[in-house]
Amino acid sequence: MSGTSENSIWSLIFGYNGVGRLDGQSGGPGGGAGPGGGAGPFGGSPGALRLFNEALGGQAGWLLGAAVVGAVGLAIASRLRRGDARSGWVIAVGGSFVTVAFAFSAAKGIFHPYYVSLLVPFTAALVGAAVTTRFAPLAIAAGLVTELLVLHHTDGSLNWIVPLLVIAIAATAGVYAGGLGPRLRGAVVAGAFAVLLLAPATWAAQTLGHATSSTFPAGGPATAAGGFGGPPVGGGAAPRGGFGGGAGGPFGGNSTSLTQAAAYVKAHGGGTIAVSSQQGASDASITSGVNVAALGGFSGRESEVSVSWLKQAVQDGRVRYVLVDSSGGGMPNDARVGSRSIMSYAAQVGTRVLTTSGGTLYDLQGRV
């Protein structure tokens, strides 16, 4: 079970992918920016305004203010009476929205921008609800505030929308202050919300304008992807393999070394190659036709595989070779054991058959 030290699905659910994401976990930073000042793959630092920062704002932060007012407005309008169907709706939808937004804002563990897509359906529903209440002008004003927060952290290409936003809020305030008829108020509210949708709609459309090959996908222009494995600024092909590409990287692995090892194994009768992390393993398995087993999980530190397990796997014929790479995987602050113990064991007892620039291939058949 990748992400656990005791091979337990429950540990994975409640630990690595559960409480660990909220309270913090070894080996995975909760913040960070990508190369060149991009948004980065880790969502920025936790805090009250995290959902509006450079990494997360453009993904789901545009209309959060309008959604909050929609939830509060509907709760007031229904007075949360048990006989009002809107009460159950706002508790379910608003409660989900608040739970997700709070968890994402406070999460100290591993966090990636694409996680905030979970907020989208609840945000959309609450923004729609805001239109149906007398609090629609407040929702428009709150949407203006949060949209300006998001725009503040973008590259400035959407700043032309700011004057339109100001005009929309001014027109809404004027119509309501003047006590004009409901039809005119409805038309102005619809127009104001249409203006609020311009920026996120443009951002969404820009996603289709560039190719991306990334471990951490992100919506918006090419510069929004920013993190490891995204497209380089100015166009061009993205590096393969997400983190680190072919030359290793912060999560270990070296696809060039693995390709050389796969060629050796194929020329010497075949057999499964065990590697520390999954970095590059899938590409090598597909292109070479050789079986590759990533024993330490994504970075090489998630799964703590025992030496006894490796011995049994070799004796059963499920693993023959072990490629010991020079990096060992994991982030610099990662103290987890992961696959390091079995890599050390393989280097001690195995027969060295190939040395590459990124690692050494050992044959364990008959050696355990």
Distance CA 41, CA 32 (A): 7
Q: Which of 190, 225, 260 is the last residue of a domain?
A: 225
One domain, residues 119 and 169: yes
Q: Does 243 fall in a domain? A: no
Number of domains in the chain: 2
One domain, residues 123 and 269: no
Residues spanned by the domain of 318: 252-363
Q: How confident is the model at residue 26 (pLDDT cuts 50, 70, 90)?
A: low
In this prediction, residue 84 carries a pLDDT of 96
In this prediction, residue 299 carries a pLDDT of 80
In percent, how much of the chain has pLDDT > 90?
Answer: 54
- Cβ(192)–Cβ(172) under 8 Å? yes
pLDDT tens per residue across span 169-197:
999 999 988 888 889 999 999 999 999 99
One domain, residues 36 and 134: yes
One domain, residues 219 and 257: no
One domain, residues 170 and 286: no
**12-16, 109-113, 291-295, 329-333: range with lowest mean pLDDT:** 329-333
One domain, residues 183 and 264: no
Specify the higher pLDDT residue, 223 or 140: 140
Q: Does 162 fall in a domain? A: yes
Q: How confident is the model at residue 198 (pLDDT cuts 50, 70, 90)?
A: very high
pLDDT tens per residue across span 288-304:
778 999 888 888 888 88
pLDDT tens per residue across span 339-358:
888 999 999 999 999 998 88
Q: How confident is the model at residue 16 (pLDDT cuts 50, 70, 90)?
A: confident
Mean pLDDT of the chain: 84
One domain, residues 159 and 57: yes
One domain, residues 204 and 259: no
Check pLDDT > 70 for residue 108: yes
* Unique residue bearing structure tokens 């060295």: 352
Residues linked to residue 294 through DSSP beta bridges, in sequence order: 275
